Amino acid sequence: MPGDQSIAKQQFYGNRGNHFWKIMFTIFKESYSVSYEERKAFLKKHKIALWNVLSSCMREGSSDAKITNETINDFVDFHNQYPNIRHVFFESKSASNYFHKYTTQHEGISYKILPSTSGLNAGISFDQKVEMWKVVAQTANSLY
């Protein structure tokens, strides 16, 4: 689930301390942008969709560890609407855990857990995260 700042801004990865956007622009070797409209265009250009595993939950603060009363998004309908999806990357172990708790993998899709891009995930350096996230660019580039 998005954190408080992302919810307030109505933007994926809206917290300035989160490295998601910097990592994405880095792995695709493009100039970083702070414009949310340009960020969305960047994702569309590279055929990348963002979607939360959970559609709703109760949570105090922004920590995934404090999530209760969660409801998963409808992945069956999502895959029916977008049958060409071949790769799903979870942005954390928590996202993967919630997905696997409530649904099953869809045939023909590969699933991979990547390290959280949160600035609070200090156990892995920015450069290490970039290296691990390069699989997204490699996968996207293979689609062209």
- Max CA separation in the chain (angstroms): 42
* Contact criterion met (CB below 8 Å) for 24 and 44: no
Q: What burial class does residue 18 get, using C-beta atoms within 10 Å of its C-beta: 0-12 exposed, 13-18 middle, 19+ buried? A: buried
Active-site position among 15, 18, 73, 121: 18
Long-range contacts of 124-132 (CB under 8 A, 24+ apart): 126/19, 126/22, 126/23, 129/19, 129/23, 130/23, 130/26, 130/27
18 is catalytic: yes
Catalytically active residues are: 18
